[in-house]
Amino acid sequence: MKLVGLFSGGKDSTYAIYKAKQEGHKIHFLGTVMSENPESYMYHTDNIGMVMLLSQTLGMKLATKKSFGIKEKEVEDIKILVKDLDIDGILCGAIESEYQRDRVAKVCEELKIELVAPLWHADVEKYLRTMVKEGFKVIIVGVAADGLDESWLGREIDDKCIDDLLEVKKKHGIHIAGEGGEFETIVLDCPLYQSRVEVTDSEVKWDGTSGSFIIKDAKLIPKN
């Protein structure tokens, strides 16, 4: 199918594209809703401007739509974003969030197109470890949960990080993929990228309970 991949630059939306391509789908567009509400229920906001650079290294067309991030109206932003695109379906990276999946499914139903969600109900630990094994370099760029302090910002998700997330889950009940908003990520390299991303300037902001790793500048480095 010809799909638009809902894209934030984070691990789940990027891995969903990777899986969909493996399954034979064609990603005709990346679709990004840029929410002005940092507490958005639907959309990734930390470093969302990086999607322009990431779409370049993915070699895919990018369609964007600004949003005020008003709860329950955010679904209309997706509809406006994709309704005029020549596609057969919408690809999303939802894993367990009924809230996110149901709202994308509603748009698909209204537009009479398909929903593709290759990560839906995946074994989360297995997914994260497979992602690492397959060469995804992912860093944490936002945290907002008990057990996740400033030291997590900018940290790469590797097997040790996954072990530590499992420990935090035991103590604080977090979702280890961050699907409840506990943390946000960005993908600096993966098998789909033509060039890897190098962060050349960054800043950490921490307010005592939550924080962001802000990428102020980055460049693409061709792979050898």
Indicate the CATH number for domain 2-116: 3.40.50.620
Average pLDDT over residues 149-155: 98
Least confident segment among 62-71, 75-84, 126-135: 62-71
User: If you search the block for the tokens 């367990």, which residue do you land on?
Assistant: 96
Two structure tokens written together for 51: 């999607």
Domain range 134-222, CATH architecture: Alpha-Beta Complex (3.90)
Which pLDDT score is estimated for 71? Answer: 62
Least confident segment among 3-12, 28-37, 47-56, 204-213: 28-37
What distance in Å separates the CA atoms of residue 52 and residue 64, rounded to the nearest whole number? 10
In this structure, the strands spanning 195-206 and 183-189 are: unpaired
CB 179 within 8 A of CB 95: yes
> Which DSSP letter does residue 45 get?
-
What distance in Å separates the CA atoms of residue 88 and residue 162, rounded to the nearest whole number? 35
Asked if the model's pLDDT at residue 84 lies above 80, the reply is yes
Write the CB contacts of 224 (distance below 8 Å, at least 6 apart in sequence).
none
Confirm whether 2-116 and 134-222 share one CATH topology: no
| Domain residue limits, the chain | 2-116, 134-222
Q: Is residue 53 within a helix (H) or strand (E), and if so which, with residue range?
A: helix 51-58
